[in-house]
Structure 1
């Protein structure tokens, strides 16, 4: 079942179509042939450095993602988690993913959230903040530096 409204312009498809050759001044952390990682517009619970892993091809939700992308997502998640542990000194990593309106999905392109975690960090407290463009670029640069 599709949930995107008629005429929906997918923001992740827009990013995928315009991925720069160099990410040095962007919120893109890494990209390969099938997926990319990006700092989103929002952070939660005061935890900064969270990222999204997104397929380059459009799939509305988990039910549409082909099995063949499973290894790409797992490898990207592990790679990003290792970079977060090094870059931010976090104590753990959480992932989450939402499907359909009842599952709190609000962008109609599959994506997985990856969060650096700290004891008592308040991730689930409901606070949602907005990054500045400069914060996104700086945090992405810190993660990219750990991927080298």
Structure 2
């Protein structure tokens, strides 16, 4: 299942190429040898603090990603979940992942969404809302602090 257009300029690959470690002025919150996590450009419903975890190497979707990256994703998800509880006092965590046009994938680089959850937060069916630059950096800073 290859869906990226010919000549696709992958934004996650561009970001991965700049990553020695999370900088205070960036939206990157976690950098590991094979994956990284960052605050995306938007959030859903009333939930701020959502992250994307992506591999540093390019894989278009779940059908392409090597199985041995699973531990890296689980470790990053768990670290973010604990940090989200500490930073935001959330009541739960949700994850989701999209593949292909019918699966609502819109960036052609595998990534996993991690959301802090609150009762009645509007995640399912919530509108996609752009973060302001200030909100995005504030959320990233709070998560980096919680990750220690």
The verdict on a shared fold, with TM-score over 0.5 as the criterion, is yes
Provide TM-score, normalisation by structure 2.
0.97
Counterpart position of 1:103: 103
TM-aligned CA deviation for residue 86 of structure 1: 0.6
List aligned pairs for 1:16-95, cutoff 5 A.
16-95=16-95
Q: Which has the higher helix share?
A: 1
Q: Which runs of no fewer than 5 residues in structure 2 stay unpaired?
A: none
Structure 1: stretches of 5+ with no match in the other structure: none
Q: Secondary structure at the match of 1:138?
A: helix
TM-score computed with the length of structure 1 as normaliser: 0.97
Counterparts of 1:123-142 in structure 2, within 5 Å, are 123-142=123-142
Shift of 1:125: 2.2
Q: Give runs of ≥4 in structure 1 deviating > 2 Å.
A: none
Q: 1:28 to 1:22 in 2, by over 3 A?
A: closer
Paired residues, number = 148
